[in-house]
Structures are given as C-alpha cells and as structure tokens.
A and B are shown apart, each in its own frame.
Chain A
Amino acid sequence: MAGSGNLLGLTAHELAKSVEAGEISAREAAEAANARVEEVETEVNAFVTTTPELALERAKRTDARDGDRRLWESVPLAVKDVLSTRGVKTTCGSKILEGFEPLYDASVLVNFGGDLIMVGKSNMDEFAMGSSTENSAFGPTRNPWDLDRVPGGSSGGSAAAVAAGEGWWALGTDTGGSVRQPAALCGIVGLKPTYGRVSRFGLIAFGSSLDVVGPMTRDVRDSALLLQAIAGHDPRDSTSANVEVPDYLSELDGGVEGLRVGVVTELMDERIDAGVREVTGRVAEGLEGAGAEVGEVNLPHAYYALEAYYIIAPAEVSSNLSRFDGVRYGLRVPAEGVHEMYRRTREEGFGAEAKRRIMLGTYALSSGYYEAYYAQAQKVRTKIVEDFRAAYSRYDVLISPTSPSVAFEIGAKTGDPLAMYLQDICAVPASLAGIPAINIPGGLSDGLPVGVQLMSDHFTESMLLRAARVAEQVADFEFALKP
C-alpha cells in the first residue's frame, strides 16, 4: 500500500481513501506536498504565497478529527488567489491588493471544511483577466510541461500546481474559460460547474453574471469529489441556486451506452489548430466506441460569442473593480483631493490588461454606446442560450476543443490583446449560457497536452462527469507529474 515515498503518484481520491483506511496521515500528505512545492516552485512559480506551516498545522488538526471528517478533507489543496482566505494574503495577482488580508473565508472554503489543508495561494492573471497568467503583478507562472511556455490562464497557477504535484488538486475560477483553458494547456481536468451551483461569496468578483468556482484535478473522479466538497446553496450569495446537490460519485462509472454526443461544428473550423481538432475527433470516436451515439450539432451564434463576451465581461469588470479606490483596503496613493486619490491609486495599482478592460467596459456602458454594445451583447447572449437549448433537445453532451491551440511560448501574445482573447473562443459559449463544461486531456500534439471540452445542460454535472470519465479512459493520455 501507499507509503509516503510514492504518495505523489496517487490521485486525490486514492490519497483520501488511504488516509481513511489509516495507512497514511494527513500530516504525511501535507509534508509531501510542502516538499514538492520546495522542490519545483522556483522553476514553476505556481504560487503568489505559499503556506507550508498552515498546511501542516491544519493537517494535524485533520488527523485529530479521525472518525469525524469527510473523505476529501485530508487532501492538500492549492487555492487561487482570487478566493478570500481569512488572515492569509489575497492579491488577485494585483499590486492594488498587495499585502491585503481578508476578514473572512470564501464560502467554498468553508464548505470544504474549516481545517482545509492549503499549500498556498496560486498565481493568476490580474483579477482573473487573461489567458496566460502573464498578467500577474507577481511574475508569470511557467507550464510544467515546458518551462518556456505559458500554463494558460487565468487560473494558470492552479493548473500548474496540479500538473507539478504542488498539492493534489486546486480550486480555480472560470469567467470565460479560466478553469478549462489552463487545465487544457497543463494536461489536467478542469470543471466549470453550472453558474450558481457553487457560491461566489468571498470570490473577488470579475464578471458577476459569469463567475464560477471550479475543481482542477488529476482525473475526473477527483473532479467529482472536489465538486462534492464545494457545491451547494449559500444564503450569502443571492445568485447561488437552491437546487439539491446530488452524490456526484455514485453514477460516475455508469458509462455512455446510448448517450447522445454532438460534435459542435462551429468550434471545429480552421480557427482551431489541426492537431487539436484531430485529438478532439479521436476522443469523439472513442466515445462512440464505448457505446455513445455521436453526431454533429450546430451552435450558429457561437460565431458571435467571443464578441458578446468581450462586451459583457468588461462591462461587469468596470463596475466590479470600482471598489478598488484606496478607501477601505489595499493600496492608496495619497493626493490632495479624493478624486485625484482615486485616479492615482488606480493608475498605480492596476496593470495594463485591467486598465484596458475597465476602459472597454466603461466605454460600452457609457451614454450613446450602451444600446449598440451592451444591450446588443445581452441579446446575443439570449440567442446563445437558445442555441444550446435546441442542441440539448437532440443531444445529451456536446463536445469541442477547449482551447484553439496547445500551450504557447511566454511572451508570444503579450503585445496583441486580440490574439490573446482568441484563446477563449471555445470556452465562452458555455460561460454565457451558464452551463457546466469540463476539460479533459485528450492526448498530445507536438508533445504538449490537448484539451477536449464536454458540455451539458444546467445542473447535469453527474451526467457530464460520467461522460468525461469515459472520455478520459478512451483518451491517449496518462497523468504524470511534470517537470
């Protein structure tokens, strides 16, 4: 059985079972995770803040609760630095929050358990805006598969941490692909649950009608277990859904016999690299081989999704980031009058992409442009919801690539915001519709992981995970720690 030597080779679920069986302790797991952080962090830079002592202390408390703990609680976790952690620095990758210590924990962390064994706060694009983690004020995270490449973003630190074994799993957040795309680029599983399935309380807001917290894990079983740990209604988040949480593990191995799977035509065109399309096609064939009925499906307004997203998300950002004004927390640059203080604080505190999105959103909401941009984008959103509704009358699960390419080189797209935004073309339709979507590693192209995305209707995560479980079994990919 598992000794501490090969602990790092276990999945989170296997580790949890070993602790439950009394073969190893949570403390040993925390020590192994801390040692791995020590070993690879100078190369990977997955974290803004590491918390080894806190992980150890909480692991000891978790061990002491033997017999009174839930399965997942003994498994060390990385937490994206956009989730508030009481007394532990939370920066959102931004200079404007450097040194900020929240006064409470995000509800997802409370749900997971009070003694959550956190190895650190993972790096991210500033306020979760970006697809490469290069927009962090604390330096880029490197892709464990190739340290000269990006890990994707914005949850790039969480994805890299899981791929490198700095913790067995991680929490990320997804507004327009920020869990799924980095999971794709780092060869791990990333789930964006249904909007409202998981509380946003304590998640520092980016796009409030889009933001979702999601599990980033080694495999689909771990994804189901971590979703179980965080899902549920929260009276403190009025947009969280009062819908019963099922047992996500119970039907996980039910297979895909008779399941109707639609390949999304609009997300398989020439905008997607050939190697990525090829891997996606192979996974679809694999599902067919496992008993699914596979066909093609159209989402005609998917061609307008990226454009609608890049109006709606910045509009919400321009409103949400107005709270960073140098008054209640974070940076303040002193000035004579209050307006000049606001302007200087925000000039100094925000990075280039945050400024660009605030400007874009403010412009789209400003008098004379509101109807043409924001109101029109909200109507496109309705058409996308209708497209999915039509698709789900014929199919149970939709399949597409997650990202149009494999991991690209650090610096390759930093000078061209539009090229960076194109990374999100496959991810944003599900975000706008609020449906669940999961990335699974489908195979390799040019020696780098290719992500395949499965999507299903609102609150059908159990079925989605069941399909994803088969997809990862038929995929030509095995998880192995990098670098």
Chain B
Amino acid sequence: MSRRKFATHTGIAVPMLQPNIDTDAIMPSREMKRVTRTGLGDGLFAGWRYLDRGTVTERENPEFILNQTDYQGASIILAGANMGCGSSREFAVWALADYGIRAIIAPSFGAIFRTNCIRNGVLPIGLDEKLVSRLADQVKTDPQRNSISIDLVKKQLAGPDGEQYSFDLDPADQQMLLEGLDLIDVTMQSIADIESYETLHRSRRSWMQLS
C-alpha cells in the first residue's frame, strides 16, 4: 500500500507556540470512538476547539486560533518545543492529517509523535526556537501573507516574507515522505535477512525464546 507523498507544499501557517502541546490535547481520548483511522479530523483539538462539545449547544470556540478567519484552511502548524509529547496515540496524527495539516514546524517533537507523522505523510520540521518565533510573528502581523512554502527535496522553507530557511531531516525520513513508501513493503524485501538473524538469535540466546 502506498502512502501520501510529500514533495512541496504551500499553505496557511497557524501559530500555536505554547510548549508541550500533548497528544491528549491534539486528540482527546474521548474523541476516539471507533476502531478506525479515518474521519478523525472532527475531534482534532476538540477540548480547545469547541464549547459545550457533545451537547445541543455545541459550537466553535471563537477564541481558539484554528477557528479564526485568518487561519481557515491552515495546513501548517507553528508549534512550541516538545510538540506532540505524551501518549503514543497515532489518532493524533490521523486527526491532523484528516483536518488537512501537512507539516508542523517546531523546535522539538515528542519522539513517538514525530515517527507517527513521518508514517502518515505529515512533515515534522525541526527549526530553532527563535526562527519558529520569527515565522509566527510574521504570520500574525499580516493575515494577508500568512503562508509558508516548503520544499522537501531541497529541505528548505520560505517564510511569509520570502526568506529561506534550511532544515534537517534524516535521509530515511525524507525518502519515506517523498516517495510515500509503505515501510512494511520495504522491510519485506529484507525478510531473508530477518529469518537468518532469527535463527542465529534463537541459537545464541535460547533463553529468550518463547515456546
């Protein structure tokens, strides 16, 4: 199965600079009501995004930034340090992707969340805290120019003022995203190596084996 590819993307960036945005906030557990990975965008940031959620008076919270006019259709999040910390729930990334988020720019990420992003075609860009702040300031200052352009091939992004920033990404992660690879398909090409390792492992460390 192939996955969603990522090569270049230009979209509205929404500043959410508080540090330690956890995956419970991104996708509250109470929004995970079915054994499914699709259609989860409605639950994204539910605790912040809605008032009176689940009642007859449910409505959008006008104070939450994604509900504000300037950020309608946002596809890039500018976040604080340790973005996506906490629970390993991949529902958080499925919800982001379903909502339309293609990239997240932050000084650092929760490790499991970061991998979940890569596996689902969402690009996690690590950028120095000061640069993330600068981008966020620009986005806030001029709502007419709140887009960021990302080029994954060159590992560069352009801020609203056109200034270019380079970012790092492991070659393996870059390739996964560029080619939309399914990692299981890729690894199955090494199944013979796995089988021969397994035989050796079982003889060398027999005590580990479950009969």
Do A and B come from the same complex?
Answer: no
A residues bordering B, Cβ < 8 Å? Answer: none
